[in-house]
Amino acid sequence: MPHQSGDAERRRVVITGIGVVAPGGIGRKRFWDLLVSGRTATRRISHFDPTPFRSQIAAECDFDPAEHNLTPREIRRCDRMAQFAIVCAREALADSAIDLGRIDPARVGVCVGTAVGATVSLEQEYVVVSDSGAHWQVDQGYAVPHLYDYLVPSSVAAEVAWQVGAEGPAAVVSTGCTSGIDAVAHAVELIREGAVDVMVAGASDAPISPITVACFDAIKATSPRNDDPEHASRPFDRTRDGFVLGEGAAMFVLESAAHAERRGASRYAEIAGFGSRCNAYHMTGLRPDGREMAEAIRVALAEARVNPDEVDYVNAHGSGTRQNDRHETAAFKRSLGEHAYRVPVSSIKSMIGHSLGAIGSLEIAACALAIDNGVVPPTANLHESDPECDLDYVPLVAREKQLDAVLTVGSGFGGFQSAMVLVHPDRRGRR
Amino acid sequence: MTVPAVVTGIGVVRPTGLGTQQYWSATVAGINGIRRVTRFDPEPYTTKLAGEISGFDPARHLPSRLLPQTDRMTKLALVAAEWALADAGIDPATLPEYAAGVVTASASGGFEFGQRELEHLWSKGPEYVSADQSCAWFYARNPGQLSVRHGMRGPSGVLVADQAGGLDAIAQARRQIRKGISVMVTGGVDSALCPWGWVALLAPGHASREENPGRAYRPFARDADGWVPGEGGAILILESVEAFQRRGGARGYGVVAGYAASFDPPPGSDRPPTLRRAIESALREADVAPHEVDVVFADAAGVPEADRVEAEAIVDVFGPHGVPVTAPKTMTGRLFSGGAPLDVATALLAIRDGIIPPSINVDDAGAYPLDLVVGKARRRPVDVAVVIARGYRGFNSVMVLRGLSSGRRAPEMREGNWNGDSHH
């Protein structure tokens, strides 16, 4: 039996590389610059003509796959979300300075979160095979060979595994809007149980398409502030009127602390705890008491051995729907007690919108960079809080603060509630 | 010590079998559920056969409110879960808060529902898109609906790894059991048998073009020409041994004793495929030697190259003709995320009854040195079964199931000695 401290080091999981594709700029540096500036990357939809839709706003990425060294074949076969994931995985690997040639491929795995997978390509291909919806019996003659890869989103895990040369476990986690947290948590679990030493994990979604916009129109979940798209994502603000759809991806290199130490890797943060619960209440509705999210937070803090009053920053789900912002404000009070009123809470969705399954990983990236830089990103567009949202939401301006333990949460359709705790790898990591 | 996870409930929705009894007797008898597609006109398409579920009337099983909100696969999953919970004798609403969760696999989205709404959008306009579309088609719809319906508020999730994902979901449910959750609802149910799903399923060119249901899906045959798509799957109830024993007298089918997953190198690589390693890792975790395995449920792609890789891995681990190999999915077609959970259910029933169900329509068993169980079921005691599931683009997952040590009673929990507690 290996002795205890070696075991403990194997069970700790650290982030050693980050790759980001986000609205407002490609790459983790531009992403972080945007977040600390408090600027917003929401705008009128340009991917298609949004005129017939109730909500005509999105946070879009200015992304040209050819600029990021994707081959013409990769561009042809990969949906936009898979292209994002590949570019992020490459950036994360380069950032981690890991030499995969020296690692047994069986000890490297891949896990990618996504809520709606290749929905843009699926819709485009549907339009072709159905002749714009004219035929129920669609025409197989027009179906592209990669249609199955669009149908079944595990194809994105395959694409990333091929990039990485990973031969360990590979999978997609698809739990709607908590996918980005849940996929990273799944990867952490695989490292902890010893199945692998390294995981390339994160999440990607590129949902900005007519069908997605129509879906959210139908339930009035997205903001109709079409005359002012730059200020449409207004989490916790009294005048908020729905979320703003986004797109993007974040991927990480995750390693056991022992593995990272052996190769002298620099670490952004340790992923110390995770919890997930279901509200079993309604597919889209939330009970105002935040009970299940509070429980997920409690579980995550307990696993991380972080007391509620030790949380230095809360990255909120903060979607900007009326029910979400009240729901999670209640959840923070329920789980953190009086400390909820003292700890800074912010929503980066105010700047980069809500990219469904991807956002959880983008928020983990924001938390890791916040710990690394000692800066709390702000909530943009927050001028007057809703009276029921009475916490410190870090309005408009970023704040310098030493961050030893941070909490990030997600909440999504299906009733999924997830929470993750990240800690500074030295100040909090070694317990 | 790891806490063993016991399967205590099975719910099956499958061509030729709604419910465990019907499906198991059809499976043992080798009844073919593959036939010409009836749900749409298959004539224009290169594949015309499917494993369709017939005689399923959701209104008989589900509240009317749920019917217009859900895709067919979700209706099937809701019914399978209800049967599985009833089989286990569990009402999640009576369990402590957060004691039960749901982790299922998914492959396709709710495509039949989705095709209708895409048609509304593109032929009529955005205002005709259903308010239920956002929740009916996305990949997490089944656990969402299952948790709401049964008040299960514990950890939940969805794994996607094409046809391998079904085992990954069961393994994830087992992780939650190990972390202290009492009851997990797991498995997978899939269906994409609408024209839009159909052309997507056929896109890789691996589906059989054969029109004779008796010759369409013949894995490991020399002239195998592909697989047949089907619909359905199985929902399983997984419990910790502790919770299971606390309920006293409850039945159990067997334990999930080992699991491993791997991903193959890209096409054209000179590195070897990884299935052999996954089988060996899963056996190692189960503390089972290859000669102790009584049956292997093969992935059985029916695509010559994939069949060859799988046959070689089985032969490498178990030796030529070293273990009975079967593929009951020859009766149903491939069920995507539902296929592997159904194989797990079938393996557990094989353990219960000492019967290895056959592969049908495989008339040329000589292509590989495998002991294929063809034509009719084989009676023999089964204690350890291995299920192999492989997904398009390189996913491999392997699970080892083991019978409970004293028939279908609770196993004794002995620290450090659980895995060695064999009744051979």
| Nearest-by-CA chain A residue for B193 | A137
Nearest C-alpha of chain A: how many angstroms from B265?
Answer: 6
What confidence score (pLDDT) does residue A287 get?
86
Decide if A177 is catalytic: yes
Nearest C-alpha of chain B: how many angstroms from A358?
Answer: 14
Mean pLDDT score across all residues of chain B: 92
Report, as an integer, the average pLDDT of B95-109. Answer: 94
What confidence score (pLDDT) does residue A3 get?
42
Tell me, yes or no, whether B217 and B291 share the same domain.
no
pLDDT at position B422 over 80 = no
What is the pTM assigned to this prediction?
Answer: 0.96
Tell me, yes or no, whether B218 and B95 share the same domain.
yes
What confidence score (pLDDT) does residue A284 get?
84
B284 domain residue, yes or no: yes
Tell me, yes or no, whether B34 and B141 share the same domain.
yes
Weakly modelled stretches of chain A, pLDDT under 50: 1-4, 430-431
Last residue within a domain, chosen from B219, B246, B273: B246
Strand partners, B70: none
B307 domain residue, yes or no: yes
Residue A360 CA to residue A366 CA, distance in Å, equals: 10
Mean pLDDT score across all residues of chain A: 95
CA distances, A275 to each of A320, A328, B156, B307 (Å): 23, 15, 10, 40
Chain B interface, best mutation among A45, A74, A132, A151, by max B CB count within 10 A = A151
Query: Rounded to an integer, what is the distance from CA A376 to the centroid of its chain?
Result: 17
Taking an 8 Å cut-off on Cβ atoms, the answer to whether A154 and B111 are in contact is no
Give the range of the structural domain holding residue B271, as residue numbers without chain letter: 257-402
> Where do the domains of chain A lie?
4-262, 270-423
Closest partner residue to B161 (CB to CB) among A154, A412, A413 is A154
Catalytic residue among A354, A367, A389, A424: A354
CATH number of the structural domain A270-423: 3.40.47.10
Tell me, yes or no, whether B277 and B186 share the same domain.
no
Chain B interface, best mutation among A108, A167, A192, by max B CB count within 10 A = A167
Last residue within a domain, chosen from B226, B246, B266: B246
Chain B interface, best mutation among A48, A103, A135, A138, by max B CB count within 10 A = A138
Please name which of B388, B303, B305, B373 lies closest in space to residue B339, comparing C-alpha atoms: B388
Per-residue model confidence as pLDDT tens digits over B168-227: 999 999 999 999 999 999 999 999 999 999 999 999 999 999 999 999 999 999 999 999
B235 domain residue, yes or no: yes
| Encoded tokens for A23 | 């609205």
DSSP assignment of A26-72 equals: ESHHHHHHHHHHT----EE--SS--TTSS--EEE-----GGGGT--H
What confidence score (pLDDT) does residue A4 get?
46
Taking an 8 Å cut-off on Cβ atoms, the answer to whether B130 and A281 are in contact is no
What confidence score (pLDDT) does residue A5 get?
57
Per-residue model confidence as pLDDT tens digits over B297-320: 999 999 999 999 999 999 999 999
B177 domain residue, yes or no: yes
Tell me, yes or no, whether B191 and B166 share the same domain.
yes
What confidence category does residue B414 fall into, taking pLDDT thresholds of 50, 70 and 90?
very low
The alpha-helical segments, DSSP class H, found in A305-428 are 322-336, 349-352, 359-373
Residue B326 CA to residue B160 CA, distance in Å, equals: 25
Q: Longest C-alpha distance within chain A, in Å?
A: 67
Strand partners, A110: A170, A200
B423 domain residue, yes or no: no
Tell me, yes or no, whether B222 and B294 share the same domain.
no
Could you tell me which CATH class the domain A4-262 is placed in?
A: alpha beta
| Nearest-by-CA chain B residue for A414 | B144
Decide if A354 is catalytic: yes
What confidence score (pLDDT) does residue B423 get?
32
Residue A88 CA to residue A27 CA, distance in Å, equals: 8
The answer to whether domain A4-262 and domain A270-423 are alike in fold is yes
Taking an 8 Å cut-off on Cβ atoms, the answer to whether B138 and A110 are in contact is no
Per-residue model confidence as pLDDT tens digits over A223-275: 999 999 999 999 999 999 999 999 999 999 999 999 999 999 999 999 999 99
Nearest C-alpha of chain B: how many angstroms from A279?
Answer: 6
Taking an 8 Å cut-off on Cβ atoms, the answer to whether A130 and B118 are in contact is yes
Report, as an integer, the average pLDDT of B54-67. Answer: 94
The conformational region for residue A58 under phi > 0 = left, psi -120 to 50 = alpha, else beta, is beta
Per-residue model confidence as pLDDT tens digits over A53-103: 999 999 999 999 999 999 999 999 999 999 999 999 999 999 999 999 999
Taking an 8 Å cut-off on Cβ atoms, the answer to whether A281 and B148 are in contact is yes
| Nearest-by-CA chain B residue for A112 | B160
Tell me, yes or no, whether B162 and B29 share the same domain.
yes
Residue B285 touches partner A, C-beta closer than 8 Å: no
Those residues whose C-beta lies under 8 Å from the C-beta of residue B380, and which sit 6 or more positions away, are B294, B324, B354, B356
CA atoms within 13 A on the CB side of A296: 34
What confidence score (pLDDT) does residue A161 get?
98
CATH of the domain at B98: 3.40.47.10
Please name which of A331, A320, A328, A352 lies closest in space to residue A236, comparing C-alpha atoms: A320
Taking an 8 Å cut-off on Cβ atoms, the answer to whether A137 and B125 are in contact is no
For chain A, how are helix, strand and coil distributed in percent, rounded to 5? 40, 20, 40
Tell me, yes or no, whether B165 and B238 share the same domain.
yes
Total structural domains in chain B? 2
What confidence category does residue B234 fall into, taking pLDDT thresholds of 50, 70 and 90?
very high
Tell me, yes or no, whether B232 and B268 share the same domain.
no
B172 domain residue, yes or no: yes
Taking an 8 Å cut-off on Cβ atoms, the answer to whether B157 and A276 are in contact is yes
Residue A328 near residue A318 (C-beta atoms within 8 A): yes
Residue B124 CA to residue B121 CA, distance in Å, equals: 6
Decide if A317 is catalytic: yes
Residue B252 CA to residue B25 CA, distance in Å, equals: 19
Residue B29 touches partner A, C-beta closer than 8 Å: no
Give the residue carrying structure tokens 């949004």: A50
Chain A interface, best mutation among B70, B74, B94, B138, by max A CB count within 10 A = B138
What confidence category does residue B413 fall into, taking pLDDT thresholds of 50, 70 and 90?
very low
Last residue within a domain, chosen from B192, B215, B246: B246
B118 domain residue, yes or no: yes
Closest partner residue to A277 (CB to CB) among B98, B107, B197 is B98
What confidence score (pLDDT) does residue B366 get?
78
Give the residue carrying structure tokens 């936009």: A80
Tell me, yes or no, whether B63 and B165 share the same domain.
yes
Tell me, yes or no, whether B239 and B269 share the same domain.
no
Q: Looking at beta carbons, which residues of chain B come within 8 Å of A52?
A: 125-126
What confidence score (pLDDT) does residue B93 get?
82
Residue B332 touches partner A, C-beta closer than 8 Å: no
Tell me, yes or no, whether B313 and B238 share the same domain.
no
What confidence score (pLDDT) does residue A1 get?
35
Closest partner residue to A137 (CB to CB) among B40, B156, B203 is B40
CB atoms within 10 A of CB A421: 28
Per-residue model confidence as pLDDT tens digits over A290-304: 999 999 999 999 999
What confidence score (pLDDT) does residue A27 get?
98
